[in-house]
């Protein structure tokens, strides 16, 4: 399908007003492009380790939206021009140039899949997309099927690889595992395949939890996220059968939530440095006395900061592994 792409050249000062006016006109899926630096408050909300390098903010901006090419676009463009003329009386809206182009409809959600092929994480762990056939399998291979959906975590990124290697190194058969920020559930599934007992995955995003459950079942493991059912937590601890429990929640935000989770032999968090630092203050609540904490997702420029936070909170650094620009720290 062909779409009409309508682009408004304006100013960052006027972009919010233009977006509000477009929404009042019933326009959806609006894109904003500008060079306004990301604030520290927004950075914290987005858990960004590295701020993007933007050109100097020159107050220019582009507001873009799309219209069905089968419907006349001239009327929409005229309404947009009238709106721009009106708001220009009250705010500097810049050039207010409106251009119309065409763009082909694309399956942006799924196009990336053509680049995601089976690959080997280490000597016998193979990550296989659910839509691909495995053409080369060795005796003893542990094959993990994965469909990340919109959740992060295919296993190919250095941070995930570091976690997988450390799970293999520090996981004892039958050990209990808590996967904080589970995302696609890949680490939970691998821990279970490597012989873990009770495995629980936690994420603040309910969509990630849903994806994790689906990936778990792709690998022949049962999953459960019905935290409202009577005895959910009690039953999880009574049996370490072939299943993984997933919960939506914020381990940082609630001591009561951490109490319900119980204590684990191994906690893994493949998140970001700016989350691991505050997590180091509370993660002991979810660890057994001799528990191991594997953290990853740490850009190398934050390594010293994360290490200092762990040591400040009573952890002993057992191992630091690096891959590319990324770091994983194992603490006890």
Q: Alpha-carbon distance 259 to 87, whole Å?
A: 54
Cβ contacts of 151 within 8 Å, gap of 6 or more: 183, 184, 185, 203, 205, 207, 208, 211, 212
C-alpha dihedral sign at 161, 166, 171, 176:
negative
> In this structure, how many other beta carbons lie within 10 angstroms of the beta carbon of residue 117?
12
Mean pLDDT, rounded, for 146-171 = 75
Cβ contacts of 245 within 8 Å, gap of 6 or more: 198, 199, 200, 201, 223, 224, 225, 232, 236
Q: Is a pLDDT exceeding 60 seen at residue 226?
A: no
Question: What is the residue-averaged pLDDT of the chain?
Answer: 82
Report pLDDT for 312: 97
Pair of tokens at residue 16: 């919010």
> In this structure, how many other beta carbons lie within 10 angstroms of the beta carbon of residue 216?
27
Q: Alpha-carbon distance 242 to 89, whole Å?
A: 66
Residue ranges and CATH numbers for the domains of the chain are 2-104 (3.30.70.260), 154-331 (3.40.50.150)
21-35, 79-93, 99-113, 282-296, range with the lowest pLDDT: 99-113
Number of residues assigned to the chain? 332
Q: Alpha-carbon distance 52 to 33, whole Å?
A: 13
Pair of tokens at residue 322: 């690096």
Find the helix or strand (DSSP H, E) in which 16 lies: helix 15-24
133-149 core/surface letters (b: 16 or more CB in 10 A; e: else): eeeeeeeeebebbbbbb
Mean pLDDT, rounded, for 7-18 = 92
Pair of tokens at residue 297: 């997702």
Mean pLDDT, rounded, for 261-279 = 93
Q: Is a pLDDT exceeding 60 seen at residue 234?
A: no
């Amino acid at each position: 399908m062909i779409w009409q792409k309508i682009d408004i050249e304006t100013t960052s000062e006027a972009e919010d007003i233009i977006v509000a006016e477009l929404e009042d006109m019933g326009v959806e899926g609006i894109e904003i492009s500008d060079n306004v630096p990301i604030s520290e408050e927004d950075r914290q909300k987005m858990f960004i380790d590295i701020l993007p390098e933007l050109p100097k903010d020159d107050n220019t901006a582009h507001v873009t939206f799309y219209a069905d090419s089968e419907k006349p676009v001239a009327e929409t463009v005229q309404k947009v021009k009238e709106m721009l003329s009106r708001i220009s009386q009250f705010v500097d809206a810049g050039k207010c140039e409106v251009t119309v182009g065409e763009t082909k409809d694309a399956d942006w959600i799924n196009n990336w899949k053509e680049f995601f092929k089976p690959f080997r994480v280490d000597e016998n762990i193979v990550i296989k997309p659910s839509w691909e056939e495995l053409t080369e399998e060795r005796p003893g291979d542990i094959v993990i099927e994965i469909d990340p959906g919109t959740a992060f975590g295919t296993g190919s990124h250095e941070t995930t690889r570091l976690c997988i290697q450390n799970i293999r190194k520090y996981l004892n058969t039958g050990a209990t595992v808590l996967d904080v920020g589970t995302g696609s559930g890949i680490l939970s599934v691998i821990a279970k395949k490597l012989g873990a007992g009770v495995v629980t995955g936690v994420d603040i995003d309910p969509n990630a939890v849903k994806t994790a459950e689906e990936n778990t079942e792709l690998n022949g493991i049962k999953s459960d996220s019905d935290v409202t059912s009577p005895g959910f937590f009690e039953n999880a601890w009574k049996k370490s059968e072939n299943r993984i429990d997933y919960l939506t929640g914020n381990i940082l935000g609630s001591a009561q939530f951490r109490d319900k989770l119980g204590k684990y032999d191994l906690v893994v968090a493949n998140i970001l440095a700016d989350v691991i630092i505050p997590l180091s203050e509370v993660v002991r609540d979810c660890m057994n006395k001799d528990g191991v904490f594997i953290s990853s997702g740490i850009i190398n420029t934050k390594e010293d900061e994360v290490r200092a936070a762990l040591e400040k909170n009573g952890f002993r650094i057992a191992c630091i592994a690096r891959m590319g620009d990324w770091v994983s720290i194992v603490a006890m």
